[in-house]
């Protein structure tokens, strides 16, 4: 976990699980918890090897344009969930959350690495 100091406080994120092996057509949930309120300023990114991060969810539960609706975001106070329904082979990637409420933005490391058997 590597977090940057934030003005007026430190918003730290904890993501789980760090590794996840899933089967095709399964549904999975990735969890990101903040140690303090970040309002709904939470984004989820997907990154595949050799590619830049791709925004998939912004403001906790808004689907980025062009992203499959199999992805969804859920917020419950300081807990944020990325749900992937009916997993496809193309979903194998690293996923991570970022908060943008306390500046500078905090990005969680390590990410959640999903693996398909």
Domain boundaries, the chain: 21-106
Q: pTM (2 decimals)?
A: 0.83
Dump pLDDT digits (tens) for 26-84: 999 999 999 989 999 999 999 999 999 999 999 999 999 999 999 999 999 999 999 99
Q: Taking the CA atoms of the chain, what radius of gyration do you get in angstroms?
A: 14
At the top level of CATH, the class of 21-106 is mainly beta
CA distance 21 to 104: 32
CB-CB neighbours of 43 under 10 Å: 23
Is the pLDDT confidence value at 108 over 60? Answer: no
Q: Which of 82, 6, 62 is nearest to 37 (CA)?
A: 6
- 90 pLDDT band, cuts 50/70/90, is very high
CA distance 12 to 35: 6
Confidence at residue 2, expressed as pLDDT on a 0 to 100 scale: 33
């Amino acid at each position: 976990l590597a977090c940057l100091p934030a003005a007026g406080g430190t918003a730290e994120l904890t993501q789980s699980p760090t590794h996840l092996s899933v089967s095709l057509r399964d549904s999975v949930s990735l969890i990101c918890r903040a140690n303090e309120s970040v309002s709904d300023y939470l984004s989820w990114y997907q990154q595949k090897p050799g590619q830049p991060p791709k925004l998939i969810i912004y403001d906790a539960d808004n689907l980025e344009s062009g992203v499959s609706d199999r992805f969804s975001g859920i917020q419950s106070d300081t807990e944020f969930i990325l749900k992937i329904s009916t997993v496809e082979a193309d979903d194998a990637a690293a996923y991570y959350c970022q908060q943008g409420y306390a500046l500078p933005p905090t990005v969680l490391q390590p990410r959640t690495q999903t693996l398909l058997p």
